[in-house]
């Protein structure tokens, strides 16, 4: 009998076998050098390709489970090729491979590929444009924007992130099939005509959003993003969104240190503040039916009245990350969190040398809350919600005392960069946990 290995089989058979393998096994195959399976596993695992000359910095927060942002690529799902030529070489090497999606970070690459690989791009399910910047409506780039709209591809997402001037977009005939559109500074003069062409639009990023008539916005629109400056320029501090919007992102430009009332819109359940500066969370009024609230890479002075100023009956996820000093530790760990929470994440990225010295005035002001060395004392005065299932805390400069307790409902725990010793319930009751830089006592 002649023994036959998989490598002896026809490539078509090998490909069929790989197509049936789970994704985690496919990923393992990619780590083997000079392995017959690499090329086939690569095509099976990566159904999305990105031409990215520079990969953005990725968050080191392994816990990250924030709001899904349609304008941010999850590079774990993409094969990132550094140039157009690399993509062409790859496609020429595997002529039968048709990716589900190709992402371009500039229009020139898409225009060039249109001339050389038009047939292939027509067969790709989705094409994404993620342009870093453009120079205005009177530049050649403005005409390139108009040009690509005529291509017979499903360009379902278009992003022009850092437009430098206020351009008028009325004469750009965006494809009717587009689902995600990011034009932060661009203006639309006739919103009725403009949005009538974009009935499939689901996500829209524009700092002019609040100036458009709500009635003209697409009925499928459920995600909107705008700068904080757009809110500060409101005649009143009441923010009202279209009733169909479920997710709101507010990006930072100016500090939000004034009163803000985010009025209930019927569908709004998730809010994300990205890169903002806040004086007092007690100034904010959130919709009662909010389920997810995220502060990403933010700076917050006071958190003490966060819960008392709002009626959170449905809030299940609260994620906070950013740069915080000792005073915020005092406010956060002395706040009664909503009992509806099942998912809590707090991540302090501020280096220890920037959080204040041992003789900080905060230490003297609250001697019962800090050690002689300036560490905040986390004890039984901070009670976690009784139904909490996920907990992520990364708090350098905090000492856990033995009296602090974790609820029995926890299923996933990550405690990082703490100091001290504390008692923990039976770890067998917790499905997933990660502990770093903490001494443990088991009860």
pLDDT digits (tens, 9 = 90+) for 165-211: 557 888 899 999 999 999 988 889 999 999 999 999 999 999 999 88
Residue 59 pLDDT: 41
Residue 60 pLDDT: 39
> Cβ(392)–Cβ(346) under 8 Å?
yes
Residue 41 pLDDT: 67
- Find the mean pLDDT for residues 266-289: 88
- Contact residues for 76 (Cβ-Cβ < 8 A; gap 6+): none
253 secondary structure, DSSP code: S
pLDDT tens digits, 85-122: 988 888 888 787 888 999 998 899 999 999 999 999 99
- Find the mean pLDDT for residues 227-246: 83
| Closest among 20, 56, 218 to 132, alpha carbons compared | 56
Residue 1 pLDDT: 57
pLDDT at 17 over 90: no
- Contact residues for 22 (Cβ-Cβ < 8 A; gap 6+): none
In this structure, what are the phi and psi dihedrals at residue 437, rounded to the nearest 5 degrees? 65, 40
Both structure tokens of 202: 């689901």
| Closest among 420, 424, 414 to 62, alpha carbons compared | 414
Name which of 33-42, 72-81, 376-385 the model is least confident about. 33-42
Residue 115 pLDDT: 95
Residue 357 pLDDT: 55
Integer Cα distance of 417 and 216 in angstroms = 50
Name which of 4-8, 96-100, 373-377, 439-443 the model is least confident about. 439-443
Integer Cα distance of 141 and 131 in angstroms = 11
Count of C-beta atoms within a 10 Å radius of residue 115: 7
> Cβ(165)–Cβ(185) under 8 Å?
yes
Count of C-beta atoms within a 10 Å radius of residue 288: 12
> Cβ(340)–Cβ(315) under 8 Å?
yes
- 216 — pLDDT class (breaks 50, 70, 90): very high
DSSP 33-96: TT-TTHHHHHHHH--EEEE-SSPPPPP--TT------TTS--GGGEEEESSHHHHHHHHHH-TT
- Contact residues for 134 (Cβ-Cβ < 8 A; gap 6+): 141, 142, 145, 160, 163, 164, 167
Integer Cα distance of 246 and 268 in angstroms = 4
Which of the residue ranges 48-52, 128-132, 184-188, 200-204 has the most confident prediction, judged by mean pLDDT?
200-204
Backbone Cα Rg of the chain: 26
Residue 56 pLDDT: 45
């Amino acid at each position: 009998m002649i023994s036959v290995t998989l490598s002896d089989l026809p490539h078509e058979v090998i490909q069929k076998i790989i197509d049936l393998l789970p994704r985690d096994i496919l990923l393992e195959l990619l780590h083997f050098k000079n392995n017959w399976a690499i090329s086939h596993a690569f095509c099976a695992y990566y159904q999305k390709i990105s031409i990215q000359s520079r990969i953005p910095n990725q968050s080191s927060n392994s816990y990250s489970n924030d709001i899904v942002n349609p304008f941010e690529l999850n590079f774990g799902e993409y094969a990132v090729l550094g140039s157009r030529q690399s993509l062409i070489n790859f496609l020429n090497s595997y002529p039968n491979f048709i990716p589900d999606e190709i992402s371009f970070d500039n229009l020139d690459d898409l225009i060039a590929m249109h001339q050389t690989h038009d047939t292939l791009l027509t067969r790709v399910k989705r094409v994404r444009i993620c342009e870093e910047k453009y120079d205005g409506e009177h530049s050649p780039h403005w005409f390139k924007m108009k040009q690509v709209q005529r291509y017979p591809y499903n360009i379902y997402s278009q992003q022009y992130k850092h437009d430098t001037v206020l351009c008028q977009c009325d004469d750009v005939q965006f494809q009717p099939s587009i689902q995600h559109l990011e034009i932060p500074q661009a203006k639309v003069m006739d919103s009725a005509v403009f949005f009538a062409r974009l009935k499939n639009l689901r996500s829209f990023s524009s700092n002019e959003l609040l100036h458009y008539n709500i009635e003209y916005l697409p009925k499928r629109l459920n995600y909107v993003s705008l700068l904080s400056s757009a809110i500060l320029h409101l005649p009143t501090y009441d923010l009202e969104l279209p009733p169909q919007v479920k997710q709101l992102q507010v990006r930072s430009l100016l500090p939000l240190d004034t009163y803000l009332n985010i009025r209930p819109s019927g569908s709004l359940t998730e809010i994300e503040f990205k890169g903002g500066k806040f004086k007092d969370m007690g100034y904010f009024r959130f919709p009662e039916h909010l389920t997810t609230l995220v502060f990403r890479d933010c700076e917050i002075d006071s958190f003490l009245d966060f819960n008392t100023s709002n009626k959170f009956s449905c809030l299940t996820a609260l994620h906070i990350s950013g740069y915080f000093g000792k005073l915020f530790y005092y406010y956060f760990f002395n706040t009664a969190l909503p009992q509806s929470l099942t998912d809590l994440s707090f991540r302090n990225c501020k280096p220890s040398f920037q959080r204040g010295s041992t003789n900080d005035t905060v230490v003297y002001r609250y001697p019962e809350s800090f050690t002689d060395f300036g560490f905040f004392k986390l004890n039984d005065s901070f009670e976690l919600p009784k139904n909490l299932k996920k907990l992520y805390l990364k708090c350098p400069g905090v000492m856990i005392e033995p009296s602090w307790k974790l609820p029995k409902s926890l299923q996933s725990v990550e405690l990082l960069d703490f100091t001290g010793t504390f008692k923990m319930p039976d770890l067998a009751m917790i499905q997933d946990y990660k502990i770093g830089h903490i001494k443990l006592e088991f009860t």
